[in-house]
Amino acid sequence: MGRTMAFAIALVLALPACTSDTAEFDTYTEEDGSVWIVSDCPGTDQLLNGEPDGLPAVDGIQTREEIESWLGSGSSSRIIPRNGQAWERNADGTVYTVAVKDFMIEVTVDSPSDCPGVPTMNNGVPVIFRIEGG
């Protein structure tokens, strides 16, 4: 995940398909055009748009209700709109990306020592991290 950050930091306002909830997150664009969502934990940024590798699969996209059913509710996590790209495969095996209205999980951790070191997905749903008070 070489970060030659052509730092076009933008504030993205993502709107979910079925609710009036909004989520704000910072993004940056790399020289190759890939757009990444900024996570507070080093090494855990999530790909929003770009090459299929690192994006969620279209056939794994879940509704908010589906995610809530297995994630449950807790004070350290919330489900927020992602609304980026996902990958799909043609009958001939060709992989391509499509725009989707989907969700991700935002997890709040107490300190950097609680951070994982790599991008994380939970049941195919991207996870970003916020450090408490960070």
Rounded Cα–Cα distance for residues 41 and 31 (Å): 22
Sole residue written with tokens 């748009």: 49
Tens-place pLDDT, residues 87-108: 999 999 999 999 999 999 999 9
Question: Does residue 56 contact residue 48 with C-beta atoms inside 8 Å?
Answer: no
Rounded Cα–Cα distance for residues 36 and 46 (Å): 6
Tens-place pLDDT, residues 8-56: 222 222 323 333 355 688 999 999 999 999 999 999 999 999 999 999 9
Half-sphere exposure of 113 (CA within 13 A, CB side): 0
pTM of the model: 0.79
